[in-house]
Amino acid sequence: MPRKCCVPGCNSNYDSEIKKGGPVVSAFRFPKAEERKKLWLLAIPRKDFSPTANSVVCMKHFSEDDIIRYDLYKTKDGTTQQLLLRCPKLKEDALPRIFPNLPKYLTKEKSVVRNDPQERKKSFQQNRRSN
């Protein structure tokens, strides 16, 4: 039996959705590390929620960048192959950010990592010299 998502407004893996022909969606348990768990709880718009050992968040609430679908391995001849995982995994720093059935302001885009202003200036100057 698939685990049901604990995010408000999400019906992933509920019997009613599966009977309608909806897909079974992969779900991820809350992190064991307390700091990561706190970040997940802050990200999920649910008041006074305390996750249990069976609480999960489905993959619909994570950006595609946060989900690991393939595993890399080396063959005997030294080439690298990709193997599709039966059960997708999350990256270590993944956070639930997408909440499609809730108001749009609750969905937070993944922040863009920016370089230090001094590094950007050096890069800009180097690019100008090379052109």
Question: What are the residue boundaries of the structural domains of the chain, listed by start?
Answer: 15-62+93-130
Entry pTM: 0.71
Question: What is d(CA 89, CA 54) in angstroms, rounded to the nearest whole number?
Answer: 17
Residue 2's pLDDT is 66
> What burial class does residue 116 get, using C-beta atoms within 10 Å of its C-beta: 0-12 exposed, 13-18 middle, 19+ buried?
exposed
The pLDDT tens digits for 6-30 are: 999 888 877 767 777 777 788 999 9
> What burial class does residue 42 get, using C-beta atoms within 10 Å of its C-beta: 0-12 exposed, 13-18 middle, 19+ buried?
exposed
Tell whether the model's pLDDT for residue 129 goes beyond 80: no
Question: What is d(CA 48, CA 30) in angstroms, rounded to the nearest whole number?
Answer: 16
> What stretches of the chain show up as alpha helix (H) in DSSP?
15-19, 34-43, 117-130
Helices (H) and strands (E) in the chain, counts: 3, 4
- Segment 24-42 shows an average pLDDT of 91
61: phi then psi, degrees, rounded to nearest 5:
-100, 5
122: phi then psi, degrees, rounded to nearest 5:
-60, -45
In whole numbers, what is the pLDDT of the chain averaged over residues? Answer: 84
